[in-house]
Amino acid sequence: MSIIMHDLAGADPALRFSPYCWRTRFALAHKGLPVETIPWRFTDKAAIAFSGQERVPVIRDDAAVVSDSWAIAEHLEDHYPMPALFGGATGRAHARFVNAWADAVMIGGIARLIVRDIIDVIDVKDRDYFRQSREARFGMTLEAVQEDGRKTRVGTFRESLLPVRLVLRRQAWLGGAAPSYADFIVAGTLMWPRCSSRFAVLADDDPITEWFSRVRDLYGGLGRTAMMP
Amino acid sequence: MSIIMHDLAGADPALRFSPYCWRTRFALAHKGLPVETIPWRFTDKAAIAFSGQERVPVIRDDAAVVSDSWAIAEHLEDHYPMPALFGGATGRAHARFVNAWADAVMIGGIARLIVRDIIDVIDVKDRDYFRQSREARFGMTLEAVQEDGRKTRVGTFRESLLPVRLVLRRQAWLGGAAPSYADFIVAGTLMWPRCSSRFAVLADDDPITEWFSRVRDLYGGLGRTAMMP
């Protein structure tokens, strides 16, 4: 039986743009596990109430219900060990650092560059919720956040990715000779701006751009064929 | 036969403060390998010319000469597999990300808080070299760098460590249930301000402070008993 996954969708149900759901999509594809995704919108809290919380990704795998992309990666590794996402306990512990870094640095950095554009791709019923919750977080309009971000923060954001660049100078993937969950964390996060905005968060000649392209080619082009706005 | 290690020293040869040499010291101790350290000063280029480059750490392990803390960690793991530093190929690949992050974020952040203080602990013969090379890098006097750093950058530096804090919320060590080379990268880097300055780069109530204290207690208190200025 397929794993069922609640996956954040836009007004067009084929548009999938959550950085956390993309981490899970890549992880499932890496394991070769069939998945049936159910489009979910920010205001569909009731549809995932069975998970005991209000965010996606949520997966249902037989009797197990797991939410949170990190917990899902651990669940998959524990129940379907090969091909490995983490390569053992220490690899898993170290991947948690990459996950924390992506959450602390990439998510906030990217949000300031694309948060207004997201309004244009999400479902009409989600717009008030999205604007109000995000404007409360930033303390200004989404238009002001994004305009300021693109004017003053693009360089800082790109510089903040230096650790990824330094690693890719030495190895083909963040996972070493082959992709690991570390690749899916960073590439999954980059799928978010790719699938919700036309703004280029990376420079064309950034080595990260070349690596990200290779990640999108994996698993039959899962990332390459994803709908873009 | 002991491994020989050239280790950056201050005017007092017992004062050892290089962030890269500390990564190596912890790695050697973790492996239980005896080491004979040779105090080295910035201007002792001739003493390590045999290594084909001009920086420490440099180790001599039987016939092998290895420089660069990352290359040394790999050499140790390949030649003395247990206790493990990386826990396999993926753990090693992921540790490279932690290493790149520490180099890109921690080193520059800490330098701006303590670089003037270093002048007071290094050997007299190193002072001109250190001041000239670092002032060229920063484009201002060391006094100006440090004064500005302590006035305007302490908060930003501490915030930049958020990924470490997020990981330590979930696990006792960066390596998971036990210390790994990821712990030695970050703690080794923190030994640098500890052993060259009296400035507190971390807040007392930072969870990183508690973890760093635990790292210093490892291996008979290797980090705890290190000379401080």
Q: Answer whether A104 sits within 8 Å of B171, measured CB to CB.
A: no
Q: What is the pLDDT of residues B95-109, one digit of tens each?
A: 999 999 999 999 999
- The residues facing A36 across adjacent strands are A4
Distance in angstroms (rounded) separating the CA atoms of residues B50 and B45: 10
Distance in angstroms (rounded) separating the CA atoms of residues A140 and A134: 9
Q: What is the pLDDT of residues B152-171, one digit of tens each?
A: 999 999 999 999 999 999 99
Confidence of residue B1 (pLDDT cuts 50, 70, 90): confident
- The four Cα atoms B80, B83, B87, B92 give a dihedral, to 10 degrees, of -50
Is B117 exposed, middle or buried (CB count within 10 Å of its CB: 0-12, 13-18, 19+)?
Answer: middle
Could you give the percent of chain A with pLDDT greater than 90? 100
DSSP state of A176: B
Residues B57, B6 contacting (CB under 8 angstroms): yes
Shortest CA distance from B172: residue in chain A:
A93
Distance in angstroms (rounded) separating the CA atoms of residues A44 and B19: 50
Confidence of residue B4 (pLDDT cuts 50, 70, 90): very high
Confidence of residue A174 (pLDDT cuts 50, 70, 90): very high
In B, what residues contact A, Cβ < 8 A?
Answer: 84, 86-98, 100-101, 103-105, 162-164, 166-167, 170-171, 173-177, 180, 182
Distance in angstroms (rounded) separating the CA atoms of residues A102 and B94: 13
Nearest to B92 among A84, A92, A176 (CB): A176
> Does the ipTM exceed 0.85?
yes
Shortest CA distance from B165: residue in chain A:
A100
Shortest CA distance from A170: residue in chain B:
B96
Residue A65: in which H helix or E strand, if any? strand A64-67
- Whether B228 has a pLDDT exceeding 90, the answer reads yes
Residues B184, B30 contacting (CB under 8 angstroms): yes
Rg (CA), chain B: 17
Q: Which of A68, A94, A189, A208 to mutate to test the interface with B (most CBs of B within 10 A)?
A: A94
| Segment A44-66 mean pLDDT | 97
| Segment B175-195 mean pLDDT | 98
Distance in angstroms (rounded) separating the CA atoms of residues B93 and B163: 18
- Whether A1 has a pLDDT exceeding 90, the answer reads no
